[in-house]
Structure 1
């Protein structure tokens, strides 16, 4: 298995084009012109992912007020993302990356420790991208309880 990608602040964000809940698509090209916040999470409607999604929902105005567009990306099928958006009232875009190609490009897919076992899957990660497509914040292995406070501090919100 090749070494996982590790992006850093100042790198160009990898291009992507993914289907979204609601039947649309989202791409890096479409996000250009304003800052964006991408957060990669393992699975819709699971406890930690729901907590993280709801924290972002409850603080969504803080991000949009600073011009950010928020996009969550998981390996879930679109039907599951539609259900997640509806059940949790999520105001931002959720995209499905069932092939893991975008997650791999961002270094958000690979080996991780889960309950004492090494498994391959989504590495909970967050990236801020400026209006020109350059990474301004990179965090792998995001801790869910401190996610919002970390973003407030690092993005100056």
Structure 2
């Protein structure tokens, strides 16, 4: 399967500057605020998922947790992983605690960051149409540019894609 070079709903492409953000979230050590500016100088994975504690999102998060030590930046550093959903911080805290997650989850309740990345899209479930997150993943390089991305991520195949994308950094 080949990767598309332009993210459909936005002007983002591999090599484009990643959208700036400041979001509240929950990490393994408690509440935190994360900004794209503070992340400059280190590559990171920004992955968007629909809703905490649902089966697919749990599979994806636990797989990342279980393989986090293997996700290494060329040169040896561990990859910073940030999950983003429209959940509130309290839901993120419950998800992190219940699943013993070892990375940070960010709350994008107004879906502004999801819109900036083009992953807040029309969806259909059981004939009902609504707006929601398209499960997607973005590898951002140390300079704050999109190094790789994958839309319509399959939860059980996410780690393999991240490992492959890291090998191309």
Q: TM-score if structure 1 supplies the norm length?
A: 0.91
Instruction: Work out which of the residue numbers 81, 84, 89 in structure 2 matches 1:73.
Output: 84
Contact persistence 2:86–2:108 (CA under 8 A): yes
Instruction: Work out which of the residue numbers 14, 18, 43 in structure 2 matches 1:9.
Output: 14
**How many aligned positions are there?**
155
- Which deviates more, 5-14 or 86-95? 5-14
For the aligned residues, what is the CA RMSD? Answer: 1.7
Instruction: Work out which of the residue numbers 129, 132, 136 in structure 2 matches 1:118.
Output: 129
Can you list the C-alpha shifts for 1:118-139, whole angstroms capped at 9, x where unaligned? 3210110100001110110111
Contact persistence 1:12–1:135 (CA under 8 A): yes
Q: TM-score if structure 2 supplies the norm length?
A: 0.85
Alpha-carbon spacing, 1:7–1:116, altered in 2? closer, same or farther (3 Å)? farther
- What is the CA–CA distance in structure 2 between the aligned matches of 1:134 and 1:66, rounded to whole Å? 18
How far 1:67 moved relative to its partner?
3.4
- Which deviates more, 135-144 or 49-58? 135-144
Contact persistence 1:42–1:49 (CA under 8 A): yes
SS at match of 2:81: strand
- Which deviates more, 143-152 or 78-87? 143-152
Gaps of 5+ in 1: none
- Which deviates more, 41-50 or 105-114? 105-114
4+ aligned runs moved over 4 Å, structure 1: none
Instruction: Work out which of the residue numbers 52, 57, 63 in structure 2 matches 1:49.
Output: 57
- What is the CA–CA distance in structure 2 between the aligned matches of 1:98 and 1:153, rounded to whole Å? 30
Contact persistence 1:11–1:134 (CA under 8 A): yes
